[in-house]
Structure 1
Amino acid sequence: MSARKWVLFDIGGVLEVVDDDAWGARFQSRWQERSGFGLEEYRARLIAAELPDISRRSNLETEYWTRTGRALDMEPAEAEAMRAEMWNEYCGRLNVELFDYATELRSSAGVAILSNSVDGARYEEERRFGFSAVFDPILYSHETGLLKPEPEAYENALERIGVDASDVFFIDDHEICAEGARAVGMNAIVHRDNPSTIEAIETFLRGAA
């Protein structure tokens, strides 16, 4: 095991400024209204489409949006507009202060990402924010098949970075995911704001966590 300490970041709500608990419902509400279908029919059409699970599997994004468009009687251009709007909502904007801090942190600690995701996230987030220039590894659920707070998601991260759980500090915007990290022995906090998160990381790296 490496003696180096690691800081493990979530993406949405941490490295990206976005409300993970709210944007999805707003997005679906807008597109349900635009579709012209009532709420029940809108939901029923998407259920009947048997959309693939893109949170645990990759190479399915095209199929997902093709089925969505057909289910809602959309022209291809409209389905593409829906997809593009979804990614804009999903990615939000970069948390520049925390990203820059992580960039500087690489000289003293390992920095990596552990994120629940959907297929297409690596491409969309990379082209917007260039995460791979700073974080390694970047572990997405749609590629590993493992979702937080499942213990296996954190254990897989530990195997990939090659350290003991006590040498990892995990930051997430949801307590259930932070608790999942603690359950396997990691140090973990819920991100509230940049100053408190950075202070907590510094405390951990000084060995006082």
Structure 2
Amino acid sequence: MSRAIVFDLFGVIALTQTPAAKRRIEDIAGVAPDALWDAYWALRKPYDAGQSSAEYWTAVADRLGVRFPAATIDALTAADLASWTNADPAMVSLVGELAGQGRRLGLLSNIIADLVPVFEERHRSWLAHFDALTYSCAIGVAKPDHRAFEIAAERLGVAPADCLFIDDTEVNVVAAREVGMRAEVFHSVDQIRALTT
């Protein structure tokens, strides 16, 4: 049994953007949706690693060949933050179960700096079950950078080999394995329950 369990946040415990939330961002941006999302994801890594929201949305606008006024950037930032604040009740319950069993829990998330206080305020109760919260924006590197996994293990006081890592993205799972973690692509609550018993 692994000494520590390290969870990704978005796509595992937290829910991804709903279609309605994405349409809200599209309406504010006022550009072709396909081009918007291409730019949104292509430029996300520096944002996850600590870039400011204003810098990020300016870079998105530059890539799209448009200009977002300050008010539009503020609205895009607010809508984007709101789109990432929901959690899966079944996974939240499982986290509570694991903590109740005395399991050592860590979180390793690619997350933008502005979202951290918003998410923590909304989900303070179950985030308290984690022994270490490792955020890309705070450590200056994002998954799949090997250093992100090493820092997450260090903060839990264990070696990477002592960690089970769960993520919904294959490239991050592969990177975790490369640093010595046992790692699995997330599929369901039942899968995680089976992996942790």
TM-score by length of 1: 0.73
SS of 1:188's equivalent in the other structure is strand
- 1:188 matched to 2:183? The reply is yes
Deviation readout 1:86-125 (Å, 9 max, x if unpaired): 112223x211111121122123310110011112121121
SS of 1:54's equivalent in the other structure is helix
- 1:133 matched to 2:128? The reply is yes
Q: Which runs of 4+ in 1 moved over 6 A?
A: 22-25, 65-70
Number of aligned pairs? 188
- Aligned residues: CA RMSD: 3.7
Q: Which amino acid aligns with 2:9?
A: I
Alignment-derived partner of residue 80 in structure 1: 74
Alignment-derived partner of residue 15 in structure 2: 17
Q: CA deviation at 1:4?
A: 7.5
Q: CA deviation at 1:157?
A: 1.4
TM-score by length of 2: 0.77
- Cα pair distance change 1:62/1:134, threshold 3 Å: farther
Alignment-derived partner of residue 6 in structure 1: 4
Q: Which amino acid aligns with 1:88?
A: A
Distance 2:167 2:113 in 1: 20
Q: CA deviation at 1:55?
A: 1.8
Deviation readout 1:140-197 (Å, 9 max, x if unpaired): 1110011111111111112111212222111100011011111111111111111112
Q: Is contact 2:29–2:76 with CA below 8 Å preserved after alignment?
A: no
Unaligned runs of 5+ in 2: none
Distance 2:17 2:195 in 1: 22
Bigger mean CA deviation after superposition, 145-154 or 127-136: 127-136
Distance 1:113 1:11 in 2: 7
Alignment-derived partner of residue 137 in structure 2: 142
Q: Which amino acid aligns with 2:109?
A: S
Mapping 1:36-55, distance limit 5 Å:
53-55=46-48
SS of 2:174's equivalent in the other structure is helix
Distance 2:116 2:150 in 1: 21
- Cα pair distance change 1:136/1:121, threshold 3 Å: farther
